Structure 1
């Protein structure tokens, strides 16, 4: 899994000299949409590529390198909410922190806490950041509702700024680029990081959490210098850098880390510290790309590897996995263990394939996936089961798309025929699965997608060009 390159401008390739975090509100998006609409009105008749009146629209999917640089405009009717913001440097990884604002939150505006790590141009400039994003408001407008009020609000630039989401950040200096960050589910202020220096570190981010939680609107944009904090623990026993990292949801403080040399080490909590076994778990013949602990079994975890296999491990047996199964025909980059339906595991590979496995029928001799999606046209970079629906999951890919899937959906010929009867609906591509609920585009090289555990339907992505927070209109609870 390659690191992100140094951030450059999409316009001219020159290095961006950004000194602050940025929260992007709706003001810029709305003005750009108005400009585009005006241009369409003036020049639409002259555009030789314009769709003929009455013709059926087409589904756009990138097919060339040039297509990756196309700037897309989003249809606000497709999203209950869509917000974007960026860090000073690109980030490979993000995790959602559990907060005390309550479970199953549906009413806007929302607030969330995130932890991320940077890929800076120099090792000494890297940080681990706790971020609080507040006033995440609904962006989808109901048809014919409050039209006059919306028009009046759009006339006031000050109102637009005042209503935009706010971003507060507190950081600690991190030695080396952050390949992956994961927060302990039982204690969100404790996070582990994989560094490209080959070290795995555990951090106490309680002070940074308090800073962002106590910040006010008056301090928005006022960045403090990153704190110099000593990690709670540093493990130097890996022989190479890595990406695989996961905390056990069943045993508080238990951690596993895997490296690009194929070794996995387990961390056992002992009196505020960790005892990291010097003898690694060995069973993969290539880089360990991802690790997932069982949601319920305290002594079981799984790992996936560039050797095209998935291993099931018993923590009491280091020398050999309990099971080693070939699951793909290319590197297995990522995996996710369903927290609601514990028998289900999803894996994503370098060839773009996304597969779903039932562990009750998981076999070394005859592995049978229950679903195989090939919609992605490049490597799958992340996969995450939804915490609110056992049949739903999300994936991101190097083809610059993020997809939401619902395994409970089946193809309905009558419903499809009715949809195609309307000329406004596009013809679906031949490889469009019935289970594909939503495709989010417009990102550059997305690396991770995470569901918010307490806001049903809300997703967070990190990519080369920053973060997106979005909720698709057809995913999760309906928004009034």
Structure 2
């Protein structure tokens, strides 16, 4: 696991300008630092460089897999809910997208020895860190450890979604470029990872697994994939022809796909998500710029119970459904992020819109415990964290548009190239993981 903070993989927070006199004076150095706002500024000026501000993070690590992974998910574990115990441990499953189909892999990884950044913890919160952390400050921060099980996989992986069936049973659904949606049991991989020992990064190669189920009903590939968190074992998948298939788990653990698809979009479905509170409802977004709400209890064309056209200026790429309030957030190729109230969806007007990113939005996810907070990533190589409850402090005569950044923008994380997907850890408050063409970042900021 790589944890070197060089300028190619650091988080951009401050820019340090090189002094012409080469002085090491700390006061002079501090005066030469300023906050860099990538969506506002045209770029670095001559003599400037990015500098990672470690005080902005309670925890930060970078790591890589053998092949770049454009999609991953966080595996639910048995280490406890709502935890923050340094050093932390978490598990992920990821799918690669290599240049050659035969070079792809499914990776199940255990990330451990994740130590906090003491410089970011206030004095009154020192009890968050163990005695070992005090030693780390003197001896140098300990490297994190990645133990992984690697399964050979034929074909690039478009999307990965994991779920728990209760207890210690974890499965994963994979949308691949070979026009299949496959479901795998993760238990053998997790057991193999737990069997690895030592303080260095290790991996074990596994035999190719036989899927629990393969949905071959789609006639073209897709990216939209979602597990139903209320009706366990129910999976929705949608493709680039606008077709939606539902797969259900039956008695004995057998999965069966309904061969009659839902149809209604005029173009490819880019994302899909089940309601976090109603087991029969799901929502889709499409490159036809529309949002559709569906009721799986209804068959045929009547299953679409609400449509909002022209929601973005171009393709809608991603969505996330808030588990606390009837809100969804969407992101599009127009680089805009919009928040929609399901109670007012028929009015066909978003309740909030954020114009900060300069390139298409690639991923969105609401925070699992903070009602008004979500995270986004864009092709402009930025991860942003937002709180829609924040209001501007400017006077009545000053418009929000005149501010350098929206008041709802809480944090900007950078350092990765070609960002693809972001996720919050549901069991570790505030812990975020992101993936890109240049690897993964795992971090927790000081303000979330």
The TM-score normalised by the length of structure 1 is: 0.80
**Which of 264, 276, 286 is 2:244 aligned to?**
264
- Within 5 A, what are the aligned runs for 1:394-473? 394-413=375-394, 430-473=403-446
Of 342, 345, 352, which residue of structure 1 is paired with 2:328? 345
Q: Who is 2:218 aligned against?
A: 238
Please say which of residues 311-320 and 96-105 is displaced more in the overlay. 311-320
Cα pair distance change 1:200/1:143, threshold 3 Å: closer
The unaligned stretches of length 5 or more in structure 1 are 1-22, 46-50, 418-427, 476-480
CA positional deviation for 1:43:
5.4
Say how many residue pairs are matched: 421
- Deviation for aligned residue 1:185: 3.9
Q: Using the alignment, how far apart are the partners of 1:470 and 1:311 within structure 2? A: 34
Could you say which residue in structure 2 is the equivalent of 1:134?
Answer: 112
1:377 aligns with 2:384: no
Q: CA deviation at 1:279?
A: 1.5
Report SS of the residue matched to 1:361: helix
User: Where does residue 336 of structure 1 map in the other structure?
Assistant: 320
**2:291 equivalent to 1:318:** no
Q: CA offset at residue 60 of structure 1? A: 3.5
* Larger deviation, residues 251-260 vs 263-272: 263-272
Map of 1:280 onto structure 2: 261
SS at match of 1:141: helix
Q: Which moved more, 1:316-325 or 1:99-108?
A: 316-325
* Distance in 2 (alpha carbons) for counterparts of 1:396 and 1:338: 17
Is the 8 Å Cα contact of residues 39 and 357 (structure 2) preserved in structure 1? no
1:244-287 residue CA offsets vs partner (Å, 9 max, x unmatched) = 00000110000000001111100111231222111110011111
Q: TM-score, normalised by structure 2?
A: 0.86
Inter-CA distance 324–139: structure 2 relative to 1 (3 Å threshold): same
> Does the CA contact (< 8 Å) of 1:26 and 1:164 recur in 2?
no
Pick the aligned partner of 1:303 from 281, 284, 290: 284
Cα RMSD after superposing both structures? 3.2
Q: SS of 1:362's equivalent?
A: helix
Q: Give the match's secondary structure for 1:87.
A: coil
Relative distance call for 1:439 and 1:273 in structure 2 (3 A) is same
**In structure 2, which of residues 147, 151, 160 is the aligned counterpart of residue 168 of structure 1?**
147
Structure 2 gaps, min length 5 = 127-131
Per-residue deviation, residues 136-194 of structure 1 (Å, max 9, x unmatched): 11124159989xx99996785xx65xx21100100222220010000024356210000
Comparing 119-128 with 284-293, greater Cα deviation is found at 119-128
Distance 1:466 1:407 in 2: 29
